[in-house]
């Protein structure tokens, strides 16, 4: 039996930044979570739509986070990555 391909999940989010030249949000409680997408292409389309809706606001930026890169289940974790360790 072949091993299934892992999902490549992507999170699209954004919001108002303190300053357009840094990636610090003004208020993290107001971050806009656009959604989680199964591949980069659909995440990019969602990012593009959100970015285009806010194009006139220089302080608002959207990002794509590669959730599949945060943790690879095949790699042994360090004790600091597990709760209670």
Report pLDDT for 6.
67
Report pLDDT for 85.
41
Q: Show contacts of 6-9: CB within 8 Å, 24+ apart.
A: 6/68, 6/73, 7/38, 7/68, 8/38, 8/39, 8/40, 8/66, 8/68, 9/36, 9/37, 9/38, 9/67, 9/68
4: confidence class by pLDDT, cuts 50, 70, 90: low
The mean pLDDT value for 61-75 works out to 80
pTM: 0.76
For the chain, the structural domain boundaries read 10-81
Report whether pLDDT(77) > 60: no
CATH superfamily of the 10-81 domain: Uncharacterised protein PF13773, DUF4170 (3.30.70.2400)
- What are the pLDDT digits (tens) for 10-59? 999 999 999 989 899 999 999 999 999 999 999 999 999 999 999 999 99
């Amino acid at each position: 039996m072949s091993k299934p391909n892992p999902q490549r999940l992507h999170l699209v989010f954004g919001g108002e930044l303190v300053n357009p030249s840094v990636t610090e949000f003004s208020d993290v409680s107001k971050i806009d979570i656009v959604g989680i997408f199964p591949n980069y292409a659909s995440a990019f389309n969602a990012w593009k739509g959100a970015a285009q809706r806010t194009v006139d606001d220089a302080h608002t930026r959207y990002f794509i986070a590669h959730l599949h890169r945060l943790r690879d289940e095949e790699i042994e974790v360090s004790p600091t990555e597990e709760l209670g360790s």
